[in-house]
Structure 1
Amino acid sequence: MNTFEEAKTQTTHAYNAAADLFDHPANSFWNRFGSSTVARLNLVPGEHVLDVCSGTGASALPAAIKVGPQGKVVAVDLADKLLAEAKSKAEAKNIRNLEFRAGDMLSLGYPDAAFDAVVCVFGIFFVPDMEAAVRELWRNVRPGGRLAITTWGENLFEPASSHFWQAVRAERPELYQGFNPWDRISNPEELGAMLAGAGLSWADITYEQAVHLLSTPEDWWTLAMGSGYRGTLDQLEPDQLQRVKESNLSRLEAESVNAIEANVIYAVIDKP
């Protein structure tokens, strides 16, 4: 299995497993930043949008509302369970201009310039060759259209994340991750350099300092179980999982942590 296939398999497993808690109120940041990304695109009725790594529709649903019945949004994700949740939400809201498609962003097969806007929120960093992925997304944008890429800033979910990985390392050192995929582009300079490497040197990049509130330390555990951390947690034995949870939450309680960092970087690139 090559590096890309390994990354794809691991990501698919983690997010399918996390689907049961993905839309829990403790994980409101998905909708928060998905909606904020869409707002930066200035979508108008009738436009066609491709939303990749769409999860449960945090950006696809507001985009579908913006483009209206005459427009269309194609929501793509590797995790079919997340797409099933997105479809249920669309049906509940009577949003009918959404198409859901399980697949990866590098092999969608759409013709050149098929979309007015292409969106990728918290997903580009899962591809080992991010520049190649950006070029493929850019190929789908029509002249006069735009590409939006949103990624995590520095210190994601700190201080909870560091406590999490310390607890994991104490139980299963081989599962410890000192480096996360989003760390490659966690500041505006790195993101800009990656986009320039893909041929897009004129991106409008905005860094937003943000926090995600925790009503109790338990909210952090819900976040971990309803996000990419789930891929690590599912590899623990039940007793190990319980010890990691207790260690993690006791640290947060001792330090009276009621908010974690959730810094975000937005990039919007207009196509001439």
Structure 2
Amino acid sequence: MNDLNTPQAKAAAAYNAASDLFDHPANTFWDRFGRSTINRLELKPGASVLDVCCGSGASALPAAEQVGPGGRVVGVDVAEKLLNLASAKAQNQGLDNIEFRAGDMLDTGFADASFDAVVCVFGIFFVDDIPAAIRELWRVLRPGGKLAITTWGPDFFEPANAVFWNAVRDVRPELYKGFNPWDRIAEPAALSAIFNESRVPEPLIVAEAATHPIVSPEDWWTTLLGSGYRGTIEQLEPAMVEHVRQANHSFIVDRKIQAVQANVLYAVAEKL
């Protein structure tokens, strides 16, 4: 984690920077898909849940609601500023059955069979060795428990995504698509193959076609700043940022874009 070029370090830098707009009303997709993931697990009162790459609590907080006072949820992330947001939200909601801590999904530090459910929403792709991460999450899962991994499907944020990256290429060609690790597992077959390589039983994979509304060009820019794209934007000089912003603004206006694709893959594997 000390190497600034690791995917985990890049993710930490990007999402710490994005924390100021991560929970902006323009970015409702975090809560939407986080809660949807938890609802697929049918958590029982009193259950224990580990949520890695928990962000600001989009899946961890619904999990804490569902397992109730007798349950336990642990949220882990590499971005400490997002963990601070999550802790504040838990306190505001009166959820005292949840804790947040900095950590690495490749080495969680928990004993074997510690949790009834393990969740990773939009995060499993932030390591080079995805099968190793899945094996670690499987290790801490109890028999009878479920592992839920949610990732982005194909054509993420299109048609505006391509406009963003093309504008970045105009000013910093070496940064072009330098932060889109989810592309590796955007198709069900690719995600299934990763599970097979992990030696984890075949999951049930559900592909959901979805969109995310774009109310205005400003909201689209806020979505970029409040997500992993922030890491790329932070590497640009002010004039370069303005070029990228203007390219995106013009595209949204000229094409009258009102939504972008937000397709999702849900994978759930049960440990017998």
Q: Structures share a fold, TM > 0.5?
A: yes
Closer, same or farther in 2 for the Cα pair 1:247/1:17, shift >3 Å? same
Matched residue, 2:6: 6
User: In the alignment, residue 9 of structure 1 is paired with which amino acid?
Assistant: A
Question: Would the aligned equivalents of 1:118 and 1:141 in 2 still touch at CA under 8 Å?
Answer: yes
Q: Which runs of 5+ in 2 are unaligned?
A: none
Once the two structures are TM-superposed, the CA of residue 5 in structure 1 deviates from its matched residue by: 6.1
Q: Which runs of 5+ in 1 are unaligned?
A: none
Once the two structures are TM-superposed, the CA of residue 247 in structure 1 deviates from its matched residue by: 1.1
Q: Does 1:211 align with 2:203?
A: no
User: In the alignment, residue 212 of structure 1 is paired with which amino acid?
Assistant: H
Matched residue, 1:191: 191
Matched residue, 1:57: 57
Matched residue, 1:156: 156
Q: How does 1:241-260 map to 2 (within 5 A)?
A: 241-260=241-260
User: In the alignment, residue 228 of structure 1 is paired with which amino acid?
Assistant: G
Question: Would the aligned equivalents of 2:179 and 2:229 in 1 still touch at CA under 8 Å?
Answer: no
Matched residue, 2:31: 31
What do the CA deviations read for 1:112-140 (whole angstroms, capped 9, x no partner)? 00000000000001110100100000001
Distance 2:108 2:118 in 1: 13
Matched residue, 2:19: 19
Question: Would the aligned equivalents of 1:4 and 1:127 in 2 still touch at CA under 8 Å?
Answer: no
Matched residue, 1:80: 80
Distance 1:5 1:245 in 2: 26
Identify which range, 101-110 or 260-269, moves more after superposition. Answer: 101-110
Identify which range, 102-111 or 21-30, moves more after superposition. Answer: 102-111
User: In the alignment, residue 181 of structure 1 is paired with which amino acid?
Assistant: P
Once the two structures are TM-superposed, the CA of residue 257 in structure 1 deviates from its matched residue by: 0.5
Once the two structures are TM-superposed, the CA of residue 2 in structure 1 deviates from its matched residue by: 8.9
Distance 1:3 1:203 in 2: 33
Number of corresponding residues: 272
What do the CA deviations read for 1:157-187 (whole angstroms, capped 9, x no partner)? 0011100001111111111117721111101
Q: Output the TM-score relative to the length of structure 1.
A: 0.97
Matched residue, 1:103: 103
Closer, same or farther in 2 for the Cα pair 1:5/1:72, shift >3 Å? farther
Matched residue, 1:268: 268
Once the two structures are TM-superposed, the CA of residue 84 in structure 1 deviates from its matched residue by: 0.3
Matched residue, 1:232: 232
Matched residue, 2:67: 67
Distance 2:162 2:253 in 1: 14
Distance 1:167 1:47 in 2: 47
Matched residue, 1:93: 93
Closer, same or farther in 2 for the Cα pair 1:264/1:3, shift >3 Å? farther
Q: How does 1:137-152 map to 2 (within 5 A)?
A: 137-152=137-152
Percent sequence identity over matched residues? 58
Matched residue, 2:165: 165
Closer, same or farther in 2 for the Cα pair 1:129/1:99, shift >3 Å? same
Once the two structures are TM-superposed, the CA of residue 79 in structure 1 deviates from its matched residue by: 0.3
Q: Helix, strand or coil: the match of 1:74?
A: strand
User: In the alignment, residue 18 of structure 2 is paired with which amino acid?
Assistant: A
Distance 1:180 1:86 in 2: 24
Q: Helix, strand or coil: the match of 1:61?
A: helix
Distance 2:7 2:207 in 1: 27
